[in-house]
Structure 1
């Protein structure tokens, strides 16, 4: 009875730390500094909708995509874990994640009227690391109730994104840059542990598969 709730907590934590809503509040605020509060709230709403749709699509259809390219889920666990570990290391060192965006993308976003889909939703929130995490979590969910918990986790995380982005100015005043960096480092530590678990599970399953083939 308690297992789905435990899996919901695990899924929510993994998606929350990789999407990093708190760390991205400052990015959102800097990219919308020329918008009035009403426009900022509309951009926050669209960003949350677009980001959640991207992750939901990959969570639901990720296995079909892997099958099409003949990629095993354990291979994705290993490479995804390495990617997520590199993001976690950046977070623990107080750096913005390299996988989230590039300076060129940020510069280009300044020339766009609406930054809600690019670069905010993709790739800053729903980037390669978040997509990989969603696919792996969905594959780990053995039954429909467990799969629903992954989808619910994605929706909850982006509802939080919407809420935090709407309050971005207030959060900036309360936390400041230092407070945001402290939280980002803490989440980086959790994310690193999740990444190691992905890597070790993937490598162990690949080892067992090779042993079976050899035997």
Structure 2
């Protein structure tokens, strides 16, 4: 694999690792599935990651067509994606994103009784928007639109797929992992990942502006 492909894989993997934030979602997943048995938690883990994979890959493959149909340039999409990712990064640094996830979890769990049938939380809110959220969907479209050939597209898809596989593994180990990490460690990691995402988003915005105005 050439240095360019390694760089592309690394950038894509890090971006989606930060965006999906599986370690940050794990406590929410554990809360939503706490009232079920081990089989229920495994089913929700597999189904939620499967749903997120379908959504993200669909937008990854259909993104170029969608941009072309709407007459949106890659540079404009890159700049807009940078702004969107920066807003997400701010939410992560100031823990607004975690608060919204916990609020969704409370809404889903609200009124739930132990003796009632367990809800299927795999599609909403876990699959969408906790894993496949607006930021990760838009970023999948961006990276696939910027890939010049099928080799680069395969690298992008493999980086996304590896992140989704890691998400599945983390969900399967969510209970012990949450107890091991604790709330303070999970919060600190979310803030650190938010700072990294902020730097990536600013770089995307700069590249988009330079490309749009021919400054590069």
TM-score w.r.t. structure 2 length? Answer: 0.88
Number of equivalences: 208
Cα displacement (A) at 1:201: 1.1
Q: In the aligned structure 2, how far is the partner of 1:104 from the partner of 1:43?
A: 16
Whether 2:203 is the aligned partner of 1:202: answer: no
CA contact (8 A) 1:87 1:97 kept: no
- Give the one of 131, 140, 144 matched to 1:134: 140
Cα displacement (A) at 1:57: 1.0
Cα displacement (A) at 1:118: 1.2
1:40 — aligned with what? 41
CA contact (8 A) 1:106 1:119 kept: no
- Give the one of 136, 143, 156 matched to 1:150: 156
> Does the residue aligned with 1:148 lie in a helix, a strand or coil?
helix
CA contact (8 A) 1:101 1:123 kept: no
TM-score w.r.t. structure 1 length? Answer: 0.89
Cα displacement (A) at 1:101: 5.5
Cα displacement (A) at 1:5: 2.0
> Does the residue aligned with 2:97 lie in a helix, a strand or coil?
coil
> Does the residue aligned with 2:214 lie in a helix, a strand or coil?
helix
Q: In the aligned structure 2, how far is the partner of 1:71 from the partner of 1:202?
A: 12
Q: What are the residue-to-residue correspondences of 1:163-182 with 2, within 5 Å?
A: 163-182=169-188
CA contact (8 A) 1:50 1:117 kept: yes
CA contact (8 A) 2:28 2:105 kept: no
2:115 — aligned with what? none
Q: In the aligned structure 2, how far is the partner of 1:86 from the partner of 1:204?
A: 21
2:86 — aligned with what? 85
Cα displacement (A) at 1:139: 2.1
Whether 2:81 is the aligned partner of 1:75: answer: no
Which digits, 9 at most, give the CA deviation of each residue in 1:163-213, with x for residues without a partner?
Answer: 00111111111101011011111111111111111111111122129xxxx
